[in-house]
Amino acid sequence: MSNNRGVVYIGEGKVEVQDIAYPKMETPNGKPIDHGVILKVVSTNICGSDQHMVRGRTTAPTGMVLGHEITGEVIEKGKGVEFLSIGDIVSVPFNVACGRCRTCKEGHTGLCLHVNDDRAGGAYGYVDMGGWVGGQAHYVMVPYADFNLLKFPDRDQAMSQIRDLTMLSDILPTGFHGALKAGVGAGSTVYVAGAGPVGLAAAASARLLGAAVVMIGDFNKDRLEHARKMGFVPIDLSTHDRLGEMIAAVVGEPSVDSAIDAVGFEAIGHGGKEQPAVVLNQMMEVTREGGSIGIPGLYVTEDPGAAEKAAQTGSLSLRFGQGWAKGLSFHTGQTPVVQYNRQLMQAILHGRLNIAEIVNAQVISLEDAPKGYEQFDAGVASKFVLDPHGLLGAA
């Protein structure tokens, strides 16, 4: 049996790379399964959602192995796995989904009814998402493998483009979902809140969908400069408190066709204070009448570290009447990755989407993960990709 190491949450602001158990073909409750595979992890990314837990902003327990953005090689498979072979390189949707329940059959794989005893929806290495072991590790087990995993058609081609393909597990489909649900199409004017990796992925997706102009708002000047280099219009929120006027300076009117919230519940307002509803209220303000808002940014049911008492239980001070009066459409929730990852894979493989460059992917070793978390939390304009076996360096 091979040794295994993984990134473990050990307390507020702290992660360590530790020896962890080699994965077994069983559920978190210890029930044996025959529909899973064990993967040798090729790449696994640090996500902003991981940072929420590491900052102590959720009820995540210490000892949790983190990581829900996983790409790997099949090295073992259960007897019930029919369509995957040993040696296949696959992308793992961050949603753990059975493919058999009502919501999965309807395409809502982020709301699977069978993989989490506490609520709808499961994910690897994430609080309240079913207890599935995370993939910031050398090895990980994936259940319902035939349904969940996306096999890359050619191993050599996949490894040559692995820095792009590693984004298929979460942030690229999440950004695409946000753009699609915001109604982005040919000639759209688009505003994206947040110039982090998901915001950049949403902006790239909006461009892929035919947007005429994509603006990205943030306070982080390094991230805004990177967004500018990638061809997006930066909106420096530190210079002005009237977003509509800044948008009007770009498109000639103080509104957009589509808005995307890629920030979530830890949003910062002017003055540097947390305002968990500030982005959503801004979205309603600047989205045109009858327009749509996509909300891929994470919102939680419990936020013990929130400055506002109401926000500690997920309650936000929304100007919902404004959204109602304007007839706006909102779309929230986990992205159903399997709806999009195959098409986005093709866009990558055929040169339509240089997503690794757009999110400024930086490859580091698994053992350097704590440094990656620290730098990402400080706001660097990068997406950290962990390379547990040195395979990305070789590629």
CATH code, 204: 3.40.50.720
pLDDT tens string 165-218? 999 999 999 999 999 999 999 999 999 999 999 999 999 999 999 999 999 999
- Structural domain count of the chain: 2
Ranges of beta strands (E only) in the chain are: 5-11, 14-19, 37-45, 70-77, 89-92, 95-96, 122-123, 139-142, 150-151, 189-193, 213-218, 233-236, 256-261, 287-294, 329-331, 361-365, 383-387
User: Of 281, 314, 331, which one is at a domain's C-terminal end?
Assistant: 331
Q: 319 and 345, same structural domain?
A: no
Q: 178 and 126, same structural domain?
A: no
pLDDT tens string 298-353? 888 877 877 788 888 888 889 999 999 999 999 999 999 999 999 999 999 999 99
* Structural domain boundaries, residue 377: 5-170+336-394
User: Of 331, 359, 379, which one is at a domain's C-terminal end?
Assistant: 331
What is the model's pTM? 0.95
Both tokens of 165, joined, read 């393909």
Q: 103 and 21, same structural domain?
A: yes
Q: 354 and 207, same structural domain?
A: no
pLDDT tens string 81-105? 999 999 999 999 999 999 999 999 9
CATH number, position 71:
3.90.180.10
Q: How far apart are CA 299 and CA 263, in angstroms?
A: 9
Q: 319 and 182, same structural domain?
A: yes
User: Of 290, 312, 331, which one is at a domain's C-terminal end?
Assistant: 331
